[in-house]
Amino acid sequence: MTTSDQITTVVICVIAVLVVGAVPFALLGRSIGQSKNAQVLGFWLGLLLGPLGLVITLFSDGRIPCPFCGDKINGKPEICKSCQTRFRWDGDTCTYYPPKESSKS
C-alpha cells in the first residue's frame, strides 16, 4: 500500500466518523428546536458543534411574543391561546387585532 493510498484511507475514515457522529446531533438539535420554532438553527448547531450545539439549542427561542399578553407563540397561529388576540398573516407580515373585551352586565 502506497503512502497516497494510506492518506486516502485515513481521509475517508475521518470523513465517515464526522458524518456518522454529526448527523445524530443534527437530527437531535432539530428535534429540540422544533418546540421553540428553531428547527433550522438546532439542525445546523447540532451538525456543526455537536453536543455544544444541542446545549445552545436548548436556550434558543425562535418564537415571537404576543403583542398583548407576551406569551410566546409558535409558528403562525390565527389566535393567541392565552389572550385570544387574532392574527392575520400575509407571508411573514402579521396584522393583529386585540382581543374583544367581554361585556359584563
- Name the pLDDT band for 102 (thresholds 50, 70, 90): low
User: Is pLDDT above 70 for 105?
Assistant: no
Q: What is the pLDDT of residue 43?
A: 92
Compute how many other C-beta atoms are within 10 angstroms of the C-beta atom of residue 70.
10
Segment 48-80, tens digit of pLDDT: 888 888 888 888 888 888 888 888 887 778 888
For residues 4-20, give the mean pLDDT. Answer: 85
Structural domain boundaries in the chain? 1-62, 64-105
Q: How far apart are CA 46 and CA 27, in angstroms?
A: 7
Mean of pLDDT values over 2-17:
86
The confidence score (pLDDT) of residue 92 equals 75
